[in-house]
Amino acid sequence: MVSPDPLCGVEAGKLKISATVLSGSGLSGILLIHLTLLSTLKGIEETVLLYPSTGGRPRARRMLTEMDTAQTRLFDLFKLDAYAPHEQPT
């Protein structure tokens, strides 16, 4: 008897999430095929800039890299701002 693949459930979960994302984007008029959609979302990245300090820990600034038009539309559509880094008051 062959044991079930433990990753099968993970892949099914990814497929379900991807299908939800894809259907949501279609409702907003963004026409991207599945792989292009995921590739576009993957291109939204965060970077950390480290600034030296005169004493103690260096100061870190987290920010998103520049996004193209499609990435910006998807960012707004899926309300990813809630997960994006924001400036901390000093």
Both tokens assigned to 61: 């600034």
User: The whole model's pTM is what?
Assistant: 0.58
Give the CA radius of gyration of the chain.
Answer: 19
Q: Is it the case that residue 31 has pLDDT exceeding 60?
A: no
For the segment 34-55, the average pLDDT, to the nearest whole number, is 88
Both tokens assigned to 41: 């979302």
Per domain, the residue ranges of the chain are 8-83
Residue-level pLDDT at 39:
86
pLDDT-based confidence at 37, cuts 50/70/90? Answer: confident
pLDDT-based confidence at 2, cuts 50/70/90? Answer: very low
d(CA 64, CA 39): 16
